[in-house]
């Protein structure tokens, strides 16, 4: 896995922690499973949670940046990446990306 993907996964988790409580995240997951249960006899448009949240967002109130948006914005900001990555090995991978 390259540093962009690692950073994006960390970014998504941090975004969720910053915007929603554990209860809200669990409620959103329940909504997804209710959706799956309702359409189980039909074709499921969004067969995994990540795809479902990409289209519906979280609790109908928001969504973190897409991978492409993240790469163009947050990933290019050293201050954001220092705070997000924190680990020396990950930071070295980040800095090496630009060499």
CA distances 37 to 43, 47, 52, Å, are 11, 11, 14
pLDDT at residue 44 in the model: 63
Q: Is the pTM higher than 0.85?
A: no
Do residues 73 and 65 touch, judged by C-beta distance below 8 A? yes
45-90 residue pLDDT tens: 666 788 778 777 776 567 889 999 999 999 999 999 999 999 999 9
Domain boundaries, the chain: 3-97
């Amino acid at each position: 896995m390259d540093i962009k993907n690692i950073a994006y996964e960390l970014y998504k988790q941090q975004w969720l922690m910053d915007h929603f409580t554990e209860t809200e995240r669990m409620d959103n997951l329940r909504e997804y499973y209710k959706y799956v249960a309702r359409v189980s006899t039909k074709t499921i448009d969004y067969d995994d949670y990540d795809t479902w949240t990409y289209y519906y967002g979280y609790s109908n109130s928001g969504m973190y940046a897409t991978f492409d948006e993240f790469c163009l914005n947050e990933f290019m900001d050293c201050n954001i990446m220092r705070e997000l990555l924190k680990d020396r090995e990950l930071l070295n991978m980040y800095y090496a990306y630009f060499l």
